[in-house]
Amino acid sequence: MKQLAAVSADGCPVSAYDEGDGQAAVIIVGGAGDDGRGQARLAAKLTSTNRVLRLIRRQYRTDLAAWRPVNVTDEAVDVVALARTADRPCYLFGHSSGGVIALEAALTAPESFAALAVFEPPVDLGETPLPPATATHAARQAIDAGRPGRAIEIFARDLVKVPRPAARLARLLALSPRFRNELIPGMVSDQEALDRLGGRSAA
DSSP code string of 132-166? PHHHHHHHHHHHHTT-HHHHHHHIIIIIS---HHH
The residue ranges of every structural domain in the chain are: 2-119, 133-197
Q: pLDDT tens for residues 79-103?
A: 999 999 998 899 999 999 999 999 9
The span from the CA of 4 to the CA of 1, in Å, is 10
Q: pLDDT tens for residues 37-65?
A: 999 999 999 999 999 999 999 999 988 98
- Percentages (nearest 5) of helix, strand, coil residues in the chain: 50, 15, 35
What per-residue confidence (pLDDT) applies to 202?
A: 47
**What CATH superfamily classification does 2-119 receive?**
Alpha/Beta hydrolase fold, catalytic domain (3.40.50.1820)
**To the nearest whole percent, how much of the chain has pLDDT over 90?**
75
Would you place residue 123 in the very low, low, confident or very high pLDDT band (cuts 50, 70, 90)?
Answer: confident
Number of other residues whose CB lies within 10 A of the CB of residue 173: 19
Per the CB < 8 A criterion, the answer to whether 170 and 163 are in contact is no
pTM of this structure: 0.90
Would you place residue 132 in the very low, low, confident or very high pLDDT band (cuts 50, 70, 90)?
Answer: low
